[in-house]
Amino acid sequence: MNHFRTGLLLAAMTGLFLAVGFMLGGEQGMVMAFGFAVVMNVFSWWFSDSIVLKMHRAQEVGPGEAPELYRMVERIAARAGIPMPRVYIIPSNQPNAFATGRSPAKGVVAITQGLMEMLEPREIEAVMAHEIAHITHRDTLTMTVTATIAGAIGMLANMAMWFGGSRNREHGGGAVAGILIAILAPLAAMLVQMAISRSREYEADRLGAELCGDPRALASALQKLERGARQIDNYAAENNPATAHMFIVNPLHMRSVDNLFSTHPSTKNRVEALLAMPGGGGGEMVSEEVSPWGEVPKRQGGPWG
């Protein structure tokens, strides 16, 4: 049912893309938008993973550069019954992670340097299990295609802002229509992204907790990651907000608009769901990651490999 709903949401986003094309250029604009959407989806299928990795300056590592992390991912992938994903490290101090790749055979997990420094090994393993769950569910292609279409809708909306719609311009309403498209189209795309991402995050939490066998570790990691993401900038994500929904927690600073239209479920709700799982222990998490000064302390010893 979740996959069916995700398919409907992707169809809605594609329809929105066509509608913006129609408002910009009538039937001809819609046809051009449809052709662009087809090309864009094919391009996303083959190249979106490498594009996203380059956006975030991720570097691939092997068993020689990060042996413990590599063995951890290898172990979880074996439990999930998928091929070993490629492992990347992102040179960002913000603790975060994402997965990409068009299929389990082409899976990639990417983890920031900040996450490796801030989390305990069992929490890092839980985060990697969450990302491998996305690969197992084939969420990675859906989320990268969604990011690509959302970015294209934003581009068309900017064009509408400057040029207006040819059909409406004939009636003198081009400027108003352009402004409305520029505001409403990205907003609608954001809402679709939010719906897709939220449903997939809960499923990845569930399977990730089962794969690592420690729901409480994942719950603890989510709390630390959320606080770290609020305190530390992720400039690549801020410059490419259409990729924000790919991360395990929102990499953008939680301002009022981000709270209202966050692509991620509430961390509190995710933690409660994890603690309610068998092995979660129930009760509430103690926020051990918060120091008396409200900062997230780093583990002693720095990065491990």
Which phi and psi angles does 148 have, rounded to 5°?
Answer: -65, -45
| 107-134 per-position pLDDT tens digit | 999 999 999 999 999 999 999 999 999 9
Split into its structural domains, the chain has a count of: 1
- Which stretch, 13-27, 167-181, 252-266, has highest mean pLDDT? 13-27
Distance of CA 113 to the CA centre of its chain: 17
User: pTM here?
Assistant: 0.75
Q: In the predicted model, is pLDDT for residue 299 greater than 60?
A: no
Is 131 tagged catalytic?
A: yes
SS3 content of the chain, % helix, strand, coil (to 5): 65, 5, 30
Let me know: does 104 contact 242? Beta carbons within 8 Å: no
Query: What is the arithmetic mean of pLDDT over 57-81?
Result: 96
Helix axes 67-80, 121-136, angle to 10 degrees: 40
Domain limits for position 140: 2-275
Neighbours of 285 (CB within 10 A): 18
Task: Please enumerate in sequence order all residues whose Cβ is within 8 A of that of 5, keeping only pairs 6 or more positions apart, or say none.
Answer: 199
For residue 243, name the pLDDT band (cuts at 50, 70, 90): confident
234-268 burial code (b ≥16 CB/10 A, e <16):
bebbeebbbbbbbbbbbbbeeeeeeeeebbbbebe
DSSP state of 100: E
Give the C-alpha separation, 125 to 208, whole Å: 9
Query: What is the arithmetic mean of pLDDT over 146-175?
Result: 60
Residue 87, beta-bridge partner list: 61, 109
Neighbours of 39 (CB within 10 A): 10
Give the tokens for residue 113: 């340097």
Q: Which of 283, 243, 233, 280 is nearest to 263 (CA)?
A: 243
pLDDT of residue 116: 96
DSSP state of 297: P
- Which stretch, 13-17, 61-65, 251-255, has highest mean pLDDT? 61-65
For residue 36, name the pLDDT band (cuts at 50, 70, 90): confident
Query: What is the arithmetic mean of pLDDT over 234-241?
Result: 86
Evaluate whether residue 283 is within a structural domain: no
Evaluate whether residue 183 is within a structural domain: yes
Evaluate whether residue 45 is within a structural domain: yes
Distance of CA 305 to the CA centre of its chain: 25
Q: In the predicted model, is pLDDT for residue 161 greater than 70?
A: no
Evaluate whether residue 305 is within a structural domain: no
Report the alpha-carbon angle 239-240-244, nearest 5: 120
Give the C-alpha separation, 76 to 211, whole Å: 6
pLDDT of residue 101: 87
pLDDT of residue 178: 60
Task: Please enumerate in sequence order all residues whose Cβ is within 8 A of that of 296, keeping only pairs 6 or more positions apart, or say none.
Answer: 95, 118, 224, 227, 228, 231, 289, 290
Query: What is the arithmetic mean of pLDDT over 271-277?
Result: 95
Torsion, CA 68, CA 69, CA 75, CA 81, rounded to 10: -160
Q: Which of 127, 11, 95, 113 is nearest to 58 (CA)?
A: 113
Evaluate whether residue 77 is within a structural domain: yes
**H or E stretch covering 40:** helix 2-55
| 162-217 per-position pLDDT tens digit | 655 444 445 444 555 566 666 666 666 666 666 666 778 999 999 999 999 999 99
Which one of the listed residues 117, 123, 125, 131 is annotated catalytic? 131
Report the alpha-carbon angle 193-235-110, nearest 5: 65
